[in-house]
Structures are given as C-alpha cells and as structure tokens.
Amino acid sequence: MAEERFDIYDDGMNPIGTAARSETHARGYWHRSFHCWLARREADRLLVRFQQRQSGKDTYPGYYDITAAGHLAAGETTRDAVRELEEELGVSATYEQLVPLGEVREELRGFAKGVPFIDREVSEVYGLWCDVPLSGLRLQAEEVAAVYEADLAELLALFEGTVSAIDAEGVELRLSEDGARSLRPARASVTAAQFVPRDASYYAYVLRALQASASV
C-alpha cells in the first residue's frame, strides 16, 4: 500500500510541496492535523472524553490522547478530516457541528520503533458536544484501546498541577479469538504524565475553551 503523503510547509507555513509520512517526520517538515475533543453535559457537570492509544502504535503506545485526531493527507482540509470521528470512534458528525477552539503549533520529538522522529504540526482544534453513550462507541482496533471520560474541572486541575491524579470511567476494547469486538466497562486513575507529552498549557487551553463553549 502506498505511503500516506502530507502537504508540507516551511517555518512560515508557506507551502513547499508534499512528502511521504516517514520523510515528513524524519526531516521535521511542518504539516497540518486535526484535533477533536468530545464532551457532554450531565446535570451541572461537564465531562470530557479522551482516548487511550493502542499498545501497537509506533509513537506513544498506551498513552492517553485527544479523543480523535489525525494528519491531513495531501490536498485535504479540516472539513475532510471530520472522518476521523467515524473512523476512530464510530461517531457520525458534520463539520458544522464542531466548535472551533483555535489553532496550535507544536513540536514533538521522540523515537518510533527505535527511529528518531520530529513531528512539527499546526493543528486546528475543535470540540464536539456529543451525547453518544460510551457503550455506543465503535473503537478502531488498530488505533484506540479505550475511551475514558472525566470531569472537566478535575482534568483542568490535573494539567494545572493542583492535583496529582483523577479518576476516570470508560470502555475498553476487547477482541475475541475469532476477531469479534466488544466493549467492557473500565476505570482508571489518571495522571498528567500518562498523556502524550504535549506542553501542559495545550491541555489547559483546550479544556478552558471547551468550558467556555458550554455556555454559548
């Protein structure tokens, strides 16, 4: 199968062509991605959902992460990237249902199966207020091991460093020997260090933006 290609940019975000995914991360080209955080209201509480990455992922296996996210393939726009919600979570949504939360520019460095990478992304960040129950999700087996939700205010305290851990409830994917998929309830004690190591200010910014959008 042909390797995915991305539109790539210089430091001023001027287009400079396209490159394969591996080359983009090896050379540290700037490229674009889509982030979407799912949240819901429950009485006077706001709950935010986040995924746990599959253990087989080449970067940050088993870490907690954005509810759904993905790179933009060459020629794609964020309107096209809404497909990530259906692919990763089984959630159908339109671009018009998304709440814009801003744009972030970040650089992550690490190793993928022993090979160094430089991931430079400009990401458009969105929220989606979604009442689909956790048990109604359909998780993409190759990408998502589980989805949890936690109180927004508690998550914010976690990333602002005023608490060391919070409790979260969710569902985890189970695969039977014949390949059948099912979800089972899960609970976890979650720390900030268990999330993909972005700057804590990213998580705090997103949570505050979600909180503000709840009252609109």
Domain CATH for 204:
3.90.79.10
Supply the pLDDT for residue 216. 63
Percentage, residues of the chain above pLDDT 90:
89
* pLDDT-above-70 percentage for the chain: 99
- Residues 174 and 139: their CA atoms lie apart, in Å, by 10
Q: Which domain holds residue 64?
A: 18-213
Note whether residue 10 is domain-resident.
Answer: no
* Distance from C-alpha of 107 to C-alpha of 181, rounded to nearest angstrom: 35
Query: Any idea which of 60-74, 100-114, 133-147, 186-200 has the lowest mean pLDDT?
Result: 100-114
2 inside domain = no
Q: Is residue 57 part of a domain?
A: yes
Q: What pLDDT is stored for residue 201 in this prediction?
A: 94
The verdict on residue 4 lying in a domain is no
Residue 12 is assigned to a structural domain of this protein: no
What are the tens digits of pLDDT across the range 38-74? 999 999 999 999 999 999 998 899 999 999 999 999 9
Q: Assess if residue 13 is contained within a domain.
A: no
Distance CA 24, CA 53 (A): 22
User: Residue 194 gets which letter from DSSP?
Assistant: G
Whether 54 maps to a domain, the answer reads: yes
**50 DSSP assignment:** E
Report the alpha-carbon distance of residue 209 to residue 29 in Å, rounded. Answer: 28
CA 129 to mean position of chain CA atoms: 15
Domains identified in the chain, total number: 1
Q: Tell me the pTM.
A: 0.94
Query: 9 in a domain, yes or no?
Result: no
- CA dist 15 → 11, 31, 85, 121 (Å): 10, 9, 27, 13
